[in-house]
């Protein structure tokens, strides 16, 4: 073992569905079917031998109903290209689930345990609503995910939610987002401006065709059984959004600054990333788009909940011996406007490099699918502008976060 030299994890390709609104154009898809669609597209785009994929690792948050029973394996079985000999597994690190799937796949190929994996994620929120696994469990008498000792430990801190007229008896991402805004001195005007910018950037990028290389066109399939044409464009983007129009919305909570416009959109979607080491590249006969340069995790206060992308990003940069100024673009999930804005402030990052094509406030946040979705956008945007480094960070329920730094390969030319 003293002579062991780790391999490098490479991103060969990445693709995603266009986001679907709640009860919108993708609402009639089964989650396994939607996940299989992006995996099939990966295989077809790269022309690789699907039998060489050694594991399919899929993130999903609400693993209940149609998303239960190991959705990762369900994706393989639903696929028209992946043979049944390919295993599949599921990951839940809340909103960072498919970013964790990418980390797990990277770690597998870096160790040499596997040479080729698909990492991805899916969430059909129209079918399995946010919080369904917790709510259904409580209704069935299966208990609360937080035990009494945990609730007692944080009871005093949770009283801070009362200033927003929220319950102090449970953890809340909404409460955490408001506390984060307060801690970093973010005003209603700050979050309104960012919400408008997110929509404006998403509209401009869509019109410029910037998402064309990453989106997998799919037939429209609505819950009601209607089908009309192809779904090729993120359904949540809105033209004509301004700071003034966002400013007319009522805050969601008394004394709070956040509105529906400065919060992520409910979204149906899936994304997948093909990850290989040197042996895998040779075996498949492919060239990579990027390599994974640094991986990091962090955990912080579960009451404020959404602050951990800051220490996770700092760790990733430190591991790579880099500064934030070395990074060309960053994707920080817009769970709420306060999350990327606090991150930007804490890291002294350049706002013009942040979520340059818009984020979840405009394009949607398909929970367990978001990590792979944002990685897809990051690698394609980095390639388009011929930058070198990109950083991805996502806040997660429970106060954790993943951060990933990727480096564009010199061979990856448009």
Catalytic machinery residues: 95, 365, 395
Q: Which residues pair with 309 in a beta bridge?
A: none
The tokens of 16 are what? 């995603």
Within a 10 A sphere around the Cβ of 27, how many other Cβ atoms? 20
The two beta strands, 268-276 and 10-16, are antiparallel
Q: Round to whole Å and give the CA distance between 337 and 395.
A: 12
The tokens of 54 are what? 């050694």
Q: Round to whole Å and give the CA distance between 365 and 21.
A: 10
Q: Round to whole Å and give the CA distance between 99 and 373.
A: 9
Instruction: Quickly list H helices, 167-308.
Output: 173-183, 188-207, 243-247, 278-284
Indicate the burial class of 228 (C-beta count within 10 angstroms; 0-12, 13-18, 19 or more): exposed
Within a 10 A sphere around the Cβ of 101, how many other Cβ atoms? 35
The tokens of 234 are what? 């993120």
Q: Round to whole Å and give the CA distance between 239 and 203.
A: 6
The tokens of 384 are what? 């388009």
Query: CB-side exposure of 39: number of CA atoms within 13 Å?
Result: 35
Residue 368, classed as helix, strand or coil, is helix
Q: Round to whole Å and give the CA distance between 92 and 124.
A: 15
């Amino acid at each position: 073992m003293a002579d062991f030299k780790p391999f490098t994890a490479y991103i060969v390709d990445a693709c995603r569905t266009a986001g679907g609104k709640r009860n919108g154009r993708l609402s009639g898809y089964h989650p396994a079917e939607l996940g299989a669609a992006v995996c099939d597209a990966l295989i077809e785009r790269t022309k690789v031998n699907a039998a060489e994929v050694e594991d399919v690792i899929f993130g999903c948050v609400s693993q209940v109903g149609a998303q239960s029973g190991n959705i990762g394996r369900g994706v393989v079985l639903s696929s028209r290209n992946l043979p049944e000999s390919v295993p599949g597994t599921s990951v839940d690190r809340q909103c960072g689930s498919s970013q964790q799937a990418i980390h797990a796949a990277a770690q597998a190929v870096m160790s040499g345990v596997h040479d080729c994996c698909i990492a991805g994620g899916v969430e059909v929120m129209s079918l399995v609503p946010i919080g369904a696994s917790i709510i259904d469990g409580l209704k069935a008498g299966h208990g609360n995910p937080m035990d009494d000792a945990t609730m007692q430990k944080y009871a005093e801190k949770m009283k801070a939610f009362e200033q927003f007229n929220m319950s102090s008896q449970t953890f809340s991402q909404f409460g955490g987002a408001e506390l984060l805004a307060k801690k970093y001195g973010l005003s209603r005007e700050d979050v309104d401006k960012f919400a408008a910018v997110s929509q404006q950037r998403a509209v401009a990028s869509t019109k410029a065709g910037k998402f064309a290389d990453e989106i997998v066109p799919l037939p429209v399939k609505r819950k009601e059984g209607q089908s009309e044409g192809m779904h090729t464009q993120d359904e949540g983007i809105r033209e004509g959004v301004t700071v003034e129009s966002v400013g007319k919305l009522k805050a969601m909570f008394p004394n709070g600054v956040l509105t529906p416009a400065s919060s992520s959109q409910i979204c149906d979607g899936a994304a997948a990333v093909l990850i290989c080491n040197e042996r895998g590249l040779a075996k498949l006969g492919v060239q990579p788009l990027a390599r994974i340069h640094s991986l990091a995790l962090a955990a912080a206060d579960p009451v404020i909940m959404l602050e951990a992308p800051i220490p996770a990003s700092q760790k990733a940069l430190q591991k790579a011996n880099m500064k934030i100024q070395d990074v060309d673009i960053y994707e920080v999930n817009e769970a709420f406007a306060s999350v990327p804005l606090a991150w930007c402030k804490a890291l002294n990052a350049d706002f013009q490099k942040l979520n340059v094509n818009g984020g979840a406030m405009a394009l949607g946040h398909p929970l367990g699918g978001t990590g792979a979705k944002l990685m897809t956008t990051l690698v394609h945007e980095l390639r388009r502008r011929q930058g070198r480094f990109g950083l991805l960070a996502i806040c997660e329920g429970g106060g954790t976060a993943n951060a990933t730094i990727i480096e564009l390969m010199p061979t990856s030319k448009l």
